[in-house]
Amino acid sequence: MRQLLHIFLVTILLYILVGSYSFIYSQKQTVQSQEINLQKSLRIFSKDSVQNASSSIMEVQSKNQGFTFPLFTSEQRQNIVNPDVGLIVYDTDQDKLYFFDGTLWQGLEITNSKDTFSFELPSEPTNTFGEELIMQDGFAFIAAAHQTVSGRQYSGVVYYYQKNTENYWVLKQIIAPNIALRDNAFGFSMSYRNDTLVCGSYKGVYVFAKNISGNFIETHKISLPTVTEFAPYRVSLWQNYLAVVSTGAFFTYNDDVIYIYHKNGNAWSLSQTISDANDLLLGFSISMDDGFLFLGNGGIGENAPPDVNKSRIHIYKLQNGQFNLFQIVKERGDDWLGKTVKYHNNQLYAHVENGVNIYTLTDNSWYKSDFVIIPNPLIVGYFDVYGEYLLNGEEGTSVDEFTNSGRVIFMKKTNTGWIKNSVRTAPDIEYYTWFGRRLSVFKQDYLISGYSAKKNKYYVLFGRTYE
């Protein structure tokens, strides 16, 4: 890449040269075309610059000025006639450099090697590494729900990573049930609070606690009253309450059931069952915090049967040990409300078709207090939020010439509202597709998962947000 950059800079700068190899002053001159055969290196520098990079064919130095690449919109870049191999321009629509590799325009990602790197599993392409993600303060959980364990296919494991003092992420533990089960999809959903990790699967819910050595050990397996084959359980943990969504026959719009478990001493017991015959896919998304249970049934979309109620959010409030229906939030004409719900900093965030609604509890009612407009959303994917950052994944979005490459839009809250901070694509969009399949953010650290069709592998990107 450095060689390409040097070639490009030489090409541009030789158009304005008239003979001298070193310049310490400004000069304007119109030249139609000119070729110069350099026998030595070329230096362009200000009078205060004295160092010499003797190994470079060209050197540019200044203490108060930089070099500006030609600025193009995406349309202008694509309309360049017969671009040369190695041609570099700055795309103002995508906010990054692009170079032409002889066939396609490739976007250049600028990252810090200690803060952003991708993980792949070397085998088992069906392990769904990154099926679910949880980022916390200095550690992370990554589920591979279809990984084979002890010869049992699709059993599932969870990878537990920690960040060391040099900001590198290292694998601490592979978490799995005490007894591996075939077709279990362990880790399909996860919830973490106060050294307790809860993992949903096809065949039950597993509770893990951190021991004195810092590893997670299985303490409970909860078998639910009803079991539907290949129907995963979604989970959400808050204090001594655990909400478990039994999806029924998923994708057939059968009624979902929510089981509420309460921990008394060292035992989990079923304390309540929630269902609504008039609302299918209840609990498509789930979040529980501060005495409230939020159940979204978004994601039904245009394919919903005519008798199915459109998307909404059911809000339940804990009162006298029971979660009672508190409010139903609806948005007229929006079939995606509640595909993802997330409670954060005393506010409820919920997906809608073109952004994220923010609800605030005021006068004993949740009302929409803000709206995050996602610029040019191509699909309704998944989002996560922490502090001033909201990450919106669009796993099926096509970037440049690559189908389903995916992208993640970083939104940032400012004094004037939410604005687009940046757009993140996969490290190599030709090979890494479905970027933004799942994501999780905590403080400045984030996780983004995807799937590479060409490599037939799932991957997860660790990264950091920057000002």
pLDDT at 300 exceeding the cut of 90: no
For range 34-49, the mean pLDDT? 58
What are 423's strand-pairing partners?
Answer: 409
pLDDT > 90: percent of the chain? 38
Mean pLDDT of the chain: 79
Least reliable range by pLDDT among 30-34, 71-75, 349-353, 421-425: 30-34
- Check: CB of residue 222 under 8 Å from CB of residue 268: yes
Query: What's the pLDDT at 95?
Result: 72
Query: What's the pLDDT at 242?
Result: 97
- Residue 404 is given by DSSP the state T
Q: In terms of C-beta density within 10 A (0-12 exposed, 13-18 middle, 19 or more buried), how is residue 283 classed? A: buried
Category of 37 on φ-ψ map: left (φ > 0), alpha (ψ -120 to 50) or beta: beta
- Check: CB of residue 443 under 8 Å from CB of residue 462: no
For range 23-46, the mean pLDDT? 55
Strand bridging mode 257-264 / 267-275: antiparallel
- Residue 406 is given by DSSP the state B
Report DSSP letters for 296-365, one per residue. Answer: E----GGGS-TTS---EEEEEEEETTEEEEEEEEE-TT-TTTTSSEEEETTEEEEEETTEEEEEEEETTE
Strand bridging mode 88-91 / 71-72: parallel
- Residue 113 is given by DSSP the state T
416 CB-near residues (< 8 Å, 6+ apart):
none
pLDDT at 115 exceeding the cut of 50: no
Strand bridging mode 22-23 / 42-45: parallel
- Check: CB of residue 391 under 8 Å from CB of residue 408: yes
SS3 track for 192-222: EECCEEEEECCCCEEEEEECCCCCEEEEEEE
Give residue 451's identity as a one-letter amino acid code. Answer: Y
Query: What's the pLDDT at 211?
Result: 96
| Distance in angstroms (rounded) separating the CA atoms of residues 182 and 231 | 14
| Cα 173-191-176 angle, rounded to 5 deg | 35
Give residue 317's identity as a one-letter amino acid code. Answer: K
Q: What is the pLDDT of residues 188-206, one digit of tens each?
A: 999 999 999 999 998 899 9
| Cα 89-400-395 angle, rounded to 5 deg | 130
pLDDT at 56 exceeding the cut of 80: no
What are 352's strand-pairing partners?
Answer: 355
Beta strands across the sheet bearing 58-61 = 22-23, 42-45, 58-61
Q: In the numeric block, which tokens belong to residue 321?
A: 């040990």
Least reliable range by pLDDT among 151-165, 227-241, 405-419, 445-459: 227-241
- Residue 455 is given by DSSP the state T
Confidence bin at 277 (pLDDT 50/70/90):
low
| Distance in angstroms (rounded) separating the CA atoms of residues 145 and 127 | 6
Query: What's the pLDDT at 170?
Result: 86
* 223-232, 347-356, 455-464 — most confident range: 347-356
| 115 vs 173, more confident | 173
Query: What's the pLDDT at 78?
Result: 80
Q: What is the pLDDT of residues 342-400, one digit of tens each?
A: 999 999 999 888 889 999 999 999 999 999 998 877 777 789 999 999 999 988 777 76
- Check: CB of residue 135 under 8 Å from CB of residue 440: yes
Of 190, 185, 338, 205, which is closest to residue 260 (Cα–Cα)?
Answer: 205
Least reliable range by pLDDT among 159-163, 172-176, 378-382: 378-382
Range 211-218 contact pairs with CB under 8 angstroms and sequence separation of 24 or more? 214/172, 215/172, 215/173, 216/160, 216/173, 216/175, 218/177, 218/178
Confidence bin at 7 (pLDDT 50/70/90):
very low
Query: What's the pLDDT at 424?
Result: 85
CA distances from residue 364 to 122, 360, 453 in whole angstroms, order as listed: 52, 10, 49
- Statement: the pTM of the whole predicted model exceeds 0.85: no
- Check: CB of residue 364 under 8 Å from CB of residue 410: no
Gap between the terminal Cα atoms of the chain? 25
Q: In the numeric block, which tokens belong to residue 128?
A: 């769904």
CA distances from residue 196 to 142, 190, 214, 274, 374 in whole angstroms, order as listed: 15, 11, 12, 24, 34
What are 448's strand-pairing partners?
Answer: 439, 461
Structural domains for the chain: 2-107 (no CATH), 117-464 (2.130.10.130)
| Cβ neighbours, 10 Å, residue 73 | 12
